[in-house]
């Protein structure tokens, strides 16, 4: 991996000394991801923490709440509207995939950045969407009517699905918008979200990687951070201001609901809120299920991805062309890889398994005193199900992270579609036309694929696969390995030079000249044989059994969740994250992981410049930014000769909160959430007030980059700034 930059150790030691008197109170930390429609129940607590506006300003059903300024960005991030003309602020890494699709060697937006100088320069992003949540409503009474809690999930879910379809249809008819109903509290409640999805989204601003991805894997999931992790887009609408497909004549989405931007900053202990779409948490699972995370899934994924990232990094460092092909993929793979390492560490340091076991003992004592006999055996049933499936989960995690970590094998799924074409008994001409369409649909994969890089991944992954999984490998893997005398180099060279899957040109040539007799060639393609053997094994022996397990464990978890709520009637429960709109709150707070040498709550551009290292791309700061720093040309955004960059707070966040607005007590934007501290990444399972911190880009740094570095002050002019 990347070596530690030469200034990192010195800087961190200096920070420890400088900030050693900044002791942090755990009173600054607040657990919980709250449904906006329930915030009235939280208002007293929120005001005691510092909230200065009515919760109706944060969410209401009459269209004037700030929920109308928060968007689901794409399929898994959050964004915020920061102007009346539909300007969206989100993370750099959230826009990465879309920008990769717009980039080329001639237009290298990762190296050079992009800032539109006017609206005519804004670039359409095909396939990108943003979704507004206009209203949320508890519809449990409509979804669960006549349904018994103890019914098995097969019967229960089928009836619930019928009710959901009916109720969603009713809301669509009434509101003329989209309606989506999801389960909360493991299926003990159901809420509907009334939404609008806009489909014409255009790129406005994207800083180069030397700003937006500064620090790479070394700083990812770490504090201190020095990353300007932001990007800007704009929502366009039809003439009626409603969602529309892309059209040149579309106009910027107009809205009265957008976030005002507070430029006066913050101090430690200031109240903060994070509004967004957290992805997945499992705060209430048992110790038996938690062990599957900490002892099986995470360690296997970390080991496999370490190998894949090592190979990718080597090839990306040697070729800019390969860098552009793999930069977005690498960012996605590395993100989970680093997060899971912190997660395992946090669960271990906090002894979370033991804490859950202690709670389970008290739960069992309570359960033994209940009239409902099914409650008494809940933990026993969950333990039997989980421990009885551990081995199967281990096998499939190796299959997914190791074998399917090889892109050539992954691509077998697309190749399968070509194989199916031969089963349609088409004429040769019809067959060729159909195959050509299938091959054309693979263009996106091959645009960002390098066979030589993947071949090295294959060799590394197979060494791990055979070393750990020899007892239950798909037979075809063993066969090919033995044919090549158990020599991974020979096997890899033969495989990648023989299969037509390694090249889109080979596939095109095959499709253009194929006849029905060529089905044999596909059937015996060595790469497809590997995929087919693995896919067959999973479909026949693993996936059905895992599906049965997850069905049973979901049923038991639902009953366990309800029992926990019955046991602790005075506790304010919040539902696990499920990529629906939530609000969390806390305070600006430094990180105090061990209670002895805390980190400050803020970093500055000066600290980033001290890490500048032109021998490493991830620590290379653009020359223009260094010049702005050298001359202290911070404009209206600097403070006492310094340029604030990032800060930490104690808001409860998760994946999906990337890009979320970070708000002050008045509901004004002070930053954009982009990460969690390494020590607290286990917050998806356990919230530790000493370690759990969300990390955000200071809005002043964002505006400094836009105006002074990007030369796009016209964007700032359309925002509403306050102090």
Ramachandran quadrant class, 687 (left: phi over 0; alpha: psi -120 to 50; beta: rest): beta
For β-strands 200-206 and 231-237, DSSP reports them as antiparallel
User: Across-strand partners of 647?
Assistant: 602, 696
| DSSP labels, 423-450 | GG---HHHHHHHHHHHHHHTHHHHHT--
Q: What is the pLDDT of residues 113-127, one digit of tens each?
A: 999 999 999 999 999
d(CA 454, CA 684): 32
Cα–Cα dist 279/302, whole Å: 20
Region of 190 please: left (phi>0), alpha (psi -120 to 50) or beta.
beta
Domain covering 8-129+199-283+580-722, topology: Thrombin, subunit H (2.40.10)
The answer, yes or no, to whether residue 593 has pLDDT greater than 70, is no
Give 457-501 pLDDT, tens digit per residue. 999 999 999 999 888 899 999 999 999 999 999 999 999 999 999
pLDDT of 154: 82
| Overall size of the chain counted in residues | 723
* 437 DSSP β-pair partners: none
Contact 292, 390 (CB under 8 A): yes
Could you tell me the residue ranges of all domains in the chain?
Answer: 8-129+199-283+580-722, 133-197, 389-569
Closest among 222, 51, 259 to 646, alpha carbons compared: 222
Active-site hit among 186, 217, 229, 532: 229
Beta strands (DSSP E) in 16-173 are 70-73, 77-81, 87-90, 114-115, 123-124, 130-138
Look at residue 592 in the predicted model and tell me its pLDDT. Answer: 72
Residue 151 region, left (φ>0) first, then alpha (ψ -120 to 50), else beta?
beta
Query: How high is the pLDDT of residue 423?
Result: 85
Per-residue pLDDT, averaged over 164-172, amounts to 98
Using DSSP's 3-state secondary structure scheme, residue 125 falls into coil
Is 176 considered catalytic here? no
Q: Give the pLDDT confidence of 221-280 residue by residue, as tens digits.
A: 999 999 999 999 999 999 999 999 999 999 999 999 999 999 999 999 999 999 999 999
CB count in 10 Å sphere of residue 202: 23
Pairing of strands 251-252, 87-90: unpaired
**Which tokens sit at 564?**
């926990």
Q: What is the pLDDT of residues 514-540, one digit of tens each?
A: 898 888 888 899 999 999 999 999 999
Catalytic (active site) residue 532: no
With contact defined as beta carbons under 8 Å apart, do 233 and 204 qualify? Answer: yes
Instruction: State the Cα–Cα distance between residues 602 and 462, nearest whole angstrom.
Output: 44
Provide the pLDDT for residue 28.
Answer: 60
Per-residue pLDDT of 578-592, as tens digits, reads 999 999 999 999 987
| Residue 414: pLDDT band with limits 50, 70, 90 | confident
| Predicted local confidence at residue 22, as pLDDT | 35
- Comparing 507 with 679, the larger pLDDT belongs to 507
Q: β-strands 77-81, 87-90: how paired?
A: antiparallel
| CA 408/CA 527 separation, integer angstroms | 7
Q: Which helix (H) or strand (E) holds 527?
A: helix 526-537
Is 93 a catalytic site residue?
yes
Q: Catalytic pick from 328, 460, 600, 658?
A: 658
Q: Which residue has the higher pLDDT, 628 or 678?
A: 628
Residue 24: predicted pLDDT: 37
According to DSSP, the residues that pair with 77 across neighbouring strands are 73
For the cut 60, the answer to whether the pLDDT of residue 6 exceeds it is no
- pLDDT given for residue 703 in this prediction: 98
pLDDT at 292: 97
- CB distance 244 to 561 below 8 Å: no
Structure tokens at 391: 């081995």
What is the pLDDT of the chain when averaged over all its residues? Answer: 93
Query: Can you give the pLDDT at residue 149?
Result: 85
DSSP-derived secondary structure letter, 653 = -
Q: How far is CA 713 from CA 87, 122, 316, 708, in A?
A: 14, 15, 34, 8
Which alpha helices (H) appear in 279-377, and where do they start and end?
A: 287-291, 298-318, 320-349, 352-368, 373-376
3-class SS string, 157-185: HHHHHHHHHHHHHHHHHHHCCEEEEEEEH
The set of residues, in sequence order, having a beta carbon less than 8 Å from that of 381 and lying 6+ positions away, is: 556
* Calpha distance 335→339 (Å, rounded): 6
Cβ(245)–Cβ(257) below 8 Å: no
Distances (CA, A) of 55 to 78, 276, 456, 624: 21, 16, 55, 43
- pLDDT given at position 591: 85
CA dist., res. 540 & res. 548, Å (int): 13
pLDDT band per the 50, 70, 90 thresholds, residue 335:
confident
d(CA 479, CA 530): 10
Contact 333, 309 (CB under 8 A): yes
pLDDT (tens digit, 9 = 90+) per residue, 336-348?
Answer: 999 999 999 999 9
User: How does pLDDT run across 357-400, given as a tens digit for each residue?
Assistant: 999 999 999 999 999 888 999 999 999 999 999 999 999 999 99
Distance (Å) of CA 142 to CA 134, 147, 156, 167, 178 = 20, 10, 14, 7, 18
Q: Is-contact 338 221, C-beta < 8 A?
A: yes
Cis peptide leading into 224, omega within 30 of 0? yes
pLDDT at 26 over 70: no
What is the predicted pLDDT for the residue at 14? 38
What is the tens place of the pLDDT at every residue in 539-589?
Answer: 999 999 999 999 999 999 999 999 999 999 999 999 999 999 999 999 999
């Amino acid at each position: 991996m990347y070596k530690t930059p030469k200034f990192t150790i010195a800087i961190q030691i200096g920070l420890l000394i400088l900030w050693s008197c900044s002791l942090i109170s755990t009173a600054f930390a607040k657990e919980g991801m709250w449904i906006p429609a329930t915030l009235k129940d939280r208002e007293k607590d929120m005001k005691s923490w510092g909230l200065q506006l009515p919760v109706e300003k944060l969410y209401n059903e009459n269209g004037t709440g700030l929920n109308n300024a928060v968007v689901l960005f794409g399929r898994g991030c959050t964004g915020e509207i920061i102007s009346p003309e539909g300007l969206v602020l989100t993370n750099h890494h959230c826009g990465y995939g879309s920008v990769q699709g717009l980039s080329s060697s001639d237009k290298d937006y990762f190296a050079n950045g992009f800032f539109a100088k006017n609206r005519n320069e804004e670039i359409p992003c095909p396939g990108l969407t943003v979704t507004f949540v206009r209203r949320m409503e508890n519809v449990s009474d409509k979804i669960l009517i006549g349904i018994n809690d103890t019914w098995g999930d097969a019967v229960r879910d089928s009836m619930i699905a019928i009710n959901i379809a009916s109720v969603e249809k009713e809301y669509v008819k009434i509101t003329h918008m989209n309606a989506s109903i999801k389960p909360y509290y493991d299926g003990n409640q159901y809420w509907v979200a009334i939404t609008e999805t806009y489909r014409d989204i255009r790129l406005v601003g994207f800083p180069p990687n030397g700003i937006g991805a500064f620090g790479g894997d070394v700083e990812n999931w770490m504090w201190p951070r020095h990353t300007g992790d932001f990007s800007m887009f704009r929502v366009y609408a039809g003439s009626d201001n409603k969602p529309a497909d892309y059209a040149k004549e579309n106009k910027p989405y107009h809205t009265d609901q957008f976030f005002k931007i507070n430029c006066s900053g913050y101090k430690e202990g200031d109240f903060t809120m994070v509004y967004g779409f957290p992805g997945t948490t499992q705060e209430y699972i048992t110790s038996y299920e938690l062990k599957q995370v900490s002892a099986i899934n995470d360690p296997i994924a970390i080991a496999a991805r370490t190998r894949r990232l090592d190979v990718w990094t080597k090839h990306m460092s040697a070729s800019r062309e390969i860098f552009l092909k793999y930069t977005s993929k690498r960012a996605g793979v590395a993100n989970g890889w680093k997060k899971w390492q912190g997660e395992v560490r946090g669960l271990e340091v906090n002894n979370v398994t033991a804490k859950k076991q202690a709670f389970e003992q008290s739960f069992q004592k309570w359960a033994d005193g209940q009239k409902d006999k099914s409650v008494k055996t809940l933990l026993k049933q969950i333990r039997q199900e989980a421990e009885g499936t551990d081995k199967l989960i281990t096998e499939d995690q190796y299959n997914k992270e190791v074998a399917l970590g090889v892109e050539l094998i992954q691509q077998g799924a697309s190749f399968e579609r070509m194989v199916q074409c031969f089963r349609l008994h088409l004429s040769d001409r019809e067959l060729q036309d159909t195959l050509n369409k299938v091959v054309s649909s693979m263009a996106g994969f091959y645009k960002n694929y390098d066979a030589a890089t993947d071949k090295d991944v294959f060799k590394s992954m197979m060494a791990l696969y055979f070393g750990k999984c020899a007892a239950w490998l798909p037979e075809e893997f063993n066969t090919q390995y033995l044919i090549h005398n158990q020599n991974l180099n020979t096997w890899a060279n033969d495989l990648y030079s023989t299969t037509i899957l390694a090249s889109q040109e080979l596939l095109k040539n095959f499709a253009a000249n194929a006849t029905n007799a060529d089905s044999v060639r596909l059937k015996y393609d060595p790469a497809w044989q590997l995929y087919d053997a693995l896919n067959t094994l999973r479909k026949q022996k693993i996936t059905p059994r895992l599906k049965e397990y997850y069905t049973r464990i979901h049923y038991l978890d639902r009953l366990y969740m309800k029992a926990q709520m019955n046991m602790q009637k005075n506790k304010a429960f919040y539902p696990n994250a499920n990529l629906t709109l939530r609000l969390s709150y806390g305070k600006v707070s430094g990180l105090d992981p061990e209670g002895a040498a805390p980190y400050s709550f803020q970093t500055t551009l000066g600290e980033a410049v001290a890490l500048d290292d032109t021998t490493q791309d991830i620590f290379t700061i653009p020359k223009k930014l260094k010049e702005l720093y050298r001359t202290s040309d911070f404009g209206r955004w600097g403070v006492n000769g310094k340029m604030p960059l990032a800060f930490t707070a104690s808001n409860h966040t998760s994946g999906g909160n990337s890009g979320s607005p970070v708000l002050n007590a008045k509901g004004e934007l002070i930053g954009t959430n982009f990460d969690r501290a390494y020590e607290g990444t286990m917050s998806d399972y356990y919230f530790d007030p000493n370690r759990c911190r969300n990390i955000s880009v200071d809005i002043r740094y964002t505006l400094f980059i836009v105006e002074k570095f990007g030369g796009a002050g016209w964007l700032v002019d359309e925002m509403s700034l306050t102090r």
